[in-house]
Amino acid sequence: MQLIDADASHLAAIQAIVNDVVATTTAIYDEAPATDRETADWFEVKRAKGFPVIVAIDESVSVMGFASYGDFNKKPGYRFTVEHSLHVAADHRGKGLGRVLLEAIESRARGAGVHTMVGLIDAENVASRRLHESAGYELAGTLKEVGWKFGRWLNMCSYQKIL
Ligand SMILES: CC(C)(COP(=O)(O)OP(=O)(O)OC[C@H]1O[C@@H](n2cnc3c(N)ncnc32)[C@H](O)[C@@H]1OP(=O)(O)O)[C@@H](O)C(=O)NCCC(=O)NCCS
């Protein structure tokens, strides 16, 4: 396994992982799959703002997962805070890759002078909550019934770590 910065050649695989998460979980509150254009625009914003997109690839250069971060809030007073995200392909989950990606994105954030990392995690997402708690993230609070997907209300847990 290798961690590298994503380029345009990884976007189709990133999109496939995201769209599987969208279709099968409440980890992302989207209901429709991301289009090629939306994925390209997302990547362009990351590139333009200097935000990292790290992919974990295997020996055959297949993308097993990715991590990134972006603005927590666009107002200038929030510029030392980022909101991160990470997703591992279904057949690679539970093998430690999420932890590796979280550590990698944190390390990039430290290098970029980020002070606070925020993860907004659906309350039902036991794996992500467990991962973040064991990596030193604190539950700052839970926003109840702010999301709606699969015909039910969803609660959003705000996790944070001061780097
Ligand atoms: C959440 C996710 C990123 C975790 O990555 P992963 O590679 O599966 O997790 P890891 O194998 O690195 O495990 C990390 C920790 O979570 C725990 N964990 C992993 N899967 C778990 C599960 N299904 N239930 C409970 N705990 C779980 C592990 O025991 C480990 O805890 P530890 O460090 O205390 O031993 C991954 O499962 C995923 O992409 N899920 C779908 C999309 C998603 O939820 N993304 C995150 C959005 S906030």
- What would the pLDDT profile of 95-112 be if each residue is shown by its tens digit? 999 999 999 999 999 999
Residue 25, ligand 1, Cβ within 6 A? yes
* Domain 2-162: homologous superfamily in CATH: Gcn5-related N-acetyltransferase (GNAT) (3.40.630.30)
What's the confidence (pLDDT) of residue 127?
A: 98
**H-helix or E-strand containing 128?**
helix 126-134
Instruction: Quote the ligand 1 centre to 31 CA distance (angstroms).
Output: 22
Q: DSSP code of 47?
A: H
Residue from 89, 40, 24, 98 nearest 63 by CA: 89
Q: In what order do the strands lie in the sheet with 2-5?
A: 2-5, 53-57, 63-71, 81-88, 116-122, 152-162, 138-149
Give the model confidence (pLDDT) of 113-146 as tens digits: 999 999 999 999 999 999 999 999 999 999 999 9
Cα(86) to centroid(ligand 1), Å:
10
* pLDDT score of 61 more than 90: no
